Structure formats: C-alpha cells, structure tokens
Amino acid sequence: MNELVNGDGRGLLTAPSRTKGGLFVQTEALTERSSGTESGSKGVVDRPAQVLSRFHANRLLILAALSLCAVLYLFSQLYFPAYAVVVNGKNLGMVRNRADFQQAVKRVETKASQVLGCEYTLQVHPNYKFGYTFGAQYVPSSVFDGYLTQQVGEMAPLYAVIVNGAVVAASQEKDAVNQVLAQMLSTYWDENTLSASFVQRVSVRYQYVPTEKERDITAIKTILSGNTREETVYSVTSGDTVDSIIKVYHMTKSEFLSRNPGLANGALKEGQSVRILKNVPLLSVRTTKTVSHIRPISYAVQTIQNPSMYRGDQKVVTAGKNGSMQVMEEQAYINGTATSRTAVFSSKMLADPVAQIVAVGTAARPLTEPTGVFQWPAAGRITSPFGYRHIFGSVSFHSGVDIANSPGTAIKASDGGTVSFAGRKGSYGNLVIIRHGNGRETYYGHCSSILVKQGDRVYQGQMIAKMGSTGRSTGSHLHFEVRMNQVAVDPLAHLNQAAS
Ligand SMILES: [Zn+2]
C-alpha cells in the first residue's frame, strides 16, 4: 500500500509493465533500489519472478528453433531422397537415381545376350515412387541383377563343359563331369606315359548357360567322346557331283550351298576346291611316352700318311666299326597314333664306335707305274671291232680292235707297265706286249718297227712302236688287244677315250 501512495510513478509503472516489454521494467526496478526506500515484501518477491519467466520464455523459443534445426539437420543426415523401384507390383527397393535400375537392366541384357548367343531384351516396365530412405539404404545392384537374371528363364547357373571356348554341355554335377573327362584321359595312360592332355582347350566352369545345354552324365559322356563337324576344304575328284559330296559328308544341300555359293547348278571340275563339313572327334588326347631303342653310331675315318705308298693309293689299316647307343625318346601320340615329333629324353652309350684308319700314300708315283686307266694307243679309225666276225662264210673270233692309219704312225703304251715281249710272233707280225699288273696286259701287233725291248719299263703315252702291216695283215693298221688274266676283252669297254 505504501508503495502505491508514496511513489506514484512506481505504482503506475508496475501495472503496465506486465503487458509491456521487459526492458522498461528492469530500468524502473533499478531506479527504485538506488533511492534507498524500504521496499515491501510483495514488491521484492514479484519483480525477479517476472524477469525470470520472460527470460525462460525466450530461451524456450531459442531452444525450439535450435531443436527444429537439429531435427532438420538430423533428418537430412538420416533420410535421403530416393526412388522406390516397383516392377509388376513388387517393390524391389530404393535407388538414388532411376538410372541405377536401368543400368542393371542393361547389364543383365548384355549377359543374357552373351549366354544365349542372341540379342536379348528384358520385358521389364518399372514404376518409380519418390520418397526418403533411412540411412541411405539403397538397394545394392546385385539385388536387381539377381532379380532380373531370374526373369531370363532360358539360362541358369550350371557347370559348363567348355571346348575351345564353346559350351558343349552343362550339368549340375561338377564332380561327375570332371570324372568323365579324367576317364577319357586315363584310357591312354600306361606305365610309360609321361603326360596326357586334351588337344583342345577344355574346362569346366560354373557360369550362366542356356538351360537347353543341360544334359545328364551319360549324355555328356556321349557328346564328349563323339564327333563334331569341322569346316574343311575338299578337292574335287573325277566323277564327283554336289549330290555325291553332300551324301558322303552327311551335309544338307543348304549347308553345302551356304559354304559354296554359286555351285547350285554349276558343274564341278576335277581338282576344284569346295568347302565341306567333316566329322572330327570333339576331343583328341595328346599323350607323350618314353620309348627306348638302339641307335647305331657311325664310325669316324682317320687317315695316316704312308711315304712307302704311291700318291693316290690308299689302304685300310684298321676296319671301322659302328658303335651303338640306347636312346630314350619322348614320343608324342594323338589318340594313340604316333606323331613324328620326338625329343631325346636320355641316352646311354652301349658300344663306342671304332674309327677306321686308312693309310694314304705320299710317295711320288713313277711315270711307268700303271695308272689303271687305258688310253687310246694310236690315231686312226677302227676297221674291225672286237668279237666274232663272218668272212667268206666262215666265223672267226677277233681278239682285239684294228686301228688303221698310214705306215709309221706312232703307237703309244696304253698305260704304264713293263714290256714282257718285243719281237716277231706268228700272225701278229712285230708284236709288243706290256704287263700292267693285276693280270692286265696290252698287245700291239703288225708293227713296222719296235722301239722297246723286253724288260723295259714304259710310261703311259710313251711311243713304243710304229704302225705297219707285218704278220697276217692286209694293210697298215694296229691290232690292239686288252687281256685280263689271259682272256681277251673288248678294248673299247676299257678305253677312256673314243677313236677319232
Ligand atoms: Zn686284228
């Protein structure tokens, strides 16, 4: 009460202060305190409470704003904008971008096209619903891939048997398939086998394959041990026709014509190349084995010089002997048939070869030594050959050849040797006989004069007599004989040059 009476301003001011702004109230309160007036108990309690409540209200507002910000911040951190992908009424999950799902469609289409070997298009029509996802829980792409792959009914994950890159069959039984392959190799295995492998690239891989490739193990065994058709070139032989060729190779006409366009009506020519399909084994087994055999080793020839032998002469001092070696080789086979390629694996010497030793003469050969080759003894023409001849109804044997020329023509030793006879001898007239060794002799008959004597050594080409017509002769000529161990032989067969 006192307050209201004494201090007009105070009483007037306190009432409106409740509706007005707090700043004014605070100013008045401070003014009153400084005046030192005794204040009533009511006034002391009321004023701080008002201040506190106003301050509290402000703080709440700030807190509310901060909280809102925090919530918004948290929301933005925890919830993310996304699209729900709905296909055929089924919600597949949330994606950040619609493209994420489209990419999965493309991936699966590409994969299906590869597996099935044709352009594959998925019939998927997704709806996208905008929303938020907690904690960025987007669907991993594998979920879409799995779902979409299931939509491709024509393929399934199986153990594919792949030969040279192509799936030939597929099965769910991995071990059984591997066993079939192992058995095919073991057929060729024995104690000498070093290796056995398929010629073709063969693998068993777990992958998506067209479901039509799935077979049971018996069927897989049949496929793998069977044939495949391979395109190759055939050379047309006489009598071939397009029909006969396709019959032999079990081809259809269209198979043939697609490979040989333009041959529909044309006749085939012998030797012409055409493309055909030929049955060949799908798998071939290459094995290598050790094989052992004895290989001869040729002996070497060594020469030693011998000054007591004439140059050009040689003689075997020690006969050579071949050695032998046991050779272990690696022999390759294709389906059990040996191929030519072999590589030496190991070798063991069984017997060393013995070198042949040959003595070679180094001494100069005297001119009078026989050369072994007869030379033509005189210039002239052959008037009577060696052999049987018919004269006036009788048959006689001519033991040499007659070489006719003018009297005095030089007669030369046909080869080097020793004069064994020089003189007159019956129908030969003036005769020279030269011994050449090894049972060989030459006779020179009807000579007009003789230039050597018995025992003389003569060299090949040395003039020994002159042509004439002594003895039983009808004109100037040389009767020339060659004898081998007393037997007359045809001189023409032993002369190194023909008559001129
Ligand atoms: Zn004669």
Distances (CA, A) of 155 to 117, 209, 212, 239, 424: 11, 5, 8, 48, 118
Instruction: Say if residue 463's pLDDT is above 80.
Output: yes
Instruction: Say if residue 13's pLDDT is above 90.
Output: no
Instruction: Say if residue 18's pLDDT is above 60.
Output: no
Residues 333 and 436 in one domain: no
Strand order in the sheet with 285-297: 193-198, 285-297, 323-334, 337-351
Residues 198 and 181 in one domain: yes
Give the tens place of pLDDT for each residue, 143-163.
888 888 888 888 888 999 999
Instruction: Say if residue 29's pLDDT is above 60.
Output: no
* Whole-number pLDDT of residue 46: 53
| Mean predicted lDDT score pLDDT of the chain | 84
Give the tens place of pLDDT for each residue, 56-66.
788 888 888 88
Ligand 1 geometric centre to CA of 24 (Å): 178
Kindly state whether residue 88 falls inside one of the protein's structural domains. no
Closest CA to 475 of 404, 412, 410: 404
* Whole-number pLDDT of residue 6: 39
Ligand 1 geometric centre to CA of 371 (Å): 25
Kindly state whether residue 101 falls inside one of the protein's structural domains. no
Assign residue 248 a region (left: φ > 0; alpha: ψ between -120 and 50; beta: otherwise). alpha
Instruction: Write the CATH number for 358.
Output: 2.20.230.10
Using alpha carbons only, what angle is made at residue 55 by residues 52 and 57, rounded to the nearest 5 degrees? Answer: 110
Ligand 1 geometric centre to CA of 380 (Å): 14
Ligand 1 geometric centre to CA of 15 (Å): 186
Ligand 1 geometric centre to CA of 370 (Å): 24
Instruction: Say if residue 2's pLDDT is above 50.
Output: no
* Whole-number pLDDT of residue 371: 85
Average pLDDT over residues 130-140: 79
Instruction: Say if residue 407's pLDDT is above 80.
Output: yes
pLDDT band of residue 48 (cuts 50, 70, 90) is: low
Residues 166 and 215 in one domain: yes
Average pLDDT over residues 42-54: 60
Ligand 1 geometric centre to CA of 488 (Å): 12
Kindly state whether residue 253 falls inside one of the protein's structural domains. yes
pLDDT band of residue 287 (cuts 50, 70, 90) is: very high
Ligand 1 geometric centre to CA of 453 (Å): 22
Ligand 1 geometric centre to CA of 456 (Å): 25
Residues 275 and 302 in one domain: no
Asked which of 301, 329, 363 is the last residue of a domain, the reply is: 363
Ligand 1 geometric centre to CA of 392 (Å): 17
417 token code pair? 């040797």
pLDDT band of residue 496 (cuts 50, 70, 90) is: low
Give residues with Cβ within 8 angstroms of 223, minimum separation 6: 168, 169, 215, 282
Average pLDDT over residues 229-244: 89
Asked which of 262, 281, 300 is the last residue of a domain, the reply is: 281
Ligand 1 geometric centre to CA of 497 (Å): 19
Ligand 1 geometric centre to CA of 117 (Å): 99
Ligand 1 geometric centre to CA of 400 (Å): 6
Ligand 1 geometric centre to CA of 440 (Å): 19
Give the C-alpha separation, 174 to 489, whole Å: 89
Ligand 1 geometric centre to CA of 437 (Å): 24
Whether 360 and 302 have beta carbons less than 8 Å apart is answered as: no
Ligand 1 geometric centre to CA of 410 (Å): 17
* Whole-number pLDDT of residue 476: 97
Instruction: Say if residue 301's pLDDT is above 90.
Output: yes
Ligand 1 geometric centre to CA of 384 (Å): 7
Give the C-alpha separation, 83 to 461, whole Å: 122
Ligand 1 geometric centre to CA of 477 (Å): 8
Residues 27 and 9 in one domain: yes
Average pLDDT over residues 321-341: 88
Residues 180 and 257 in one domain: no
Q: How many domains does the chain have?
A: 5
Ligand 1 geometric centre to CA of 377 (Å): 14
Residues 450 and 387 in one domain: yes
Residues 7 and 67 in one domain: yes
Kindly state whether residue 317 falls inside one of the protein's structural domains. yes
Residues 314 and 354 in one domain: yes
Give residues with Cβ within 8 angstroms of 278, minimum separation 6: 229, 230, 231, 232, 234, 249
Kind plus residue range of the DSSP H or E element containing 410? strand 410-412
258 token code pair? 């697609």
Kindly state whether residue 84 falls inside one of the protein's structural domains. no
pLDDT band of residue 47 (cuts 50, 70, 90) is: low
Kindly state whether residue 370 falls inside one of the protein's structural domains. no
Kindly state whether residue 91 falls inside one of the protein's structural domains. no
- The lowest-confidence range among 11-20, 103-112, 198-207, 418-427 is 11-20
Give the tens place of pLDDT for each residue, 409-424.
999 999 999 999 999 9
Residues 334 and 265 in one domain: no
Residues 387 and 488 in one domain: yes
Ligand 1 geometric centre to CA of 480 (Å): 7
Average pLDDT over residues 232-246: 89
- What is this structure's pTM? 0.48
Ligand 1 geometric centre to CA of 476 (Å): 11
Give the tens place of pLDDT for each residue, 97-111.
888 888 889 999 998
Neighbour-count burial of 447, counting CB atoms closer than 10 A to its CB (0-12 exposed, 13-18 middle, 19+ buried): buried
Instruction: Write the CATH number for 467.
Output: 2.70.70.10
Whether 126 and 148 have beta carbons less than 8 Å apart is answered as: no
Kindly state whether residue 498 falls inside one of the protein's structural domains. no
The domain in which residue 255 lies consists of 229-281
Residues 192 and 277 in one domain: no
pLDDT band of residue 49 (cuts 50, 70, 90) is: low
Ligand 1 geometric centre to CA of 378 (Å): 14
Specify the 3-state DSSP secondary structure of 456.
coil
Ligand 1 geometric centre to CA of 446 (Å): 9
Q: Is pLDDT larger for residue 227 or for residue 342?
A: 227
Give the C-alpha separation, 487 to 400, whole Å: 11
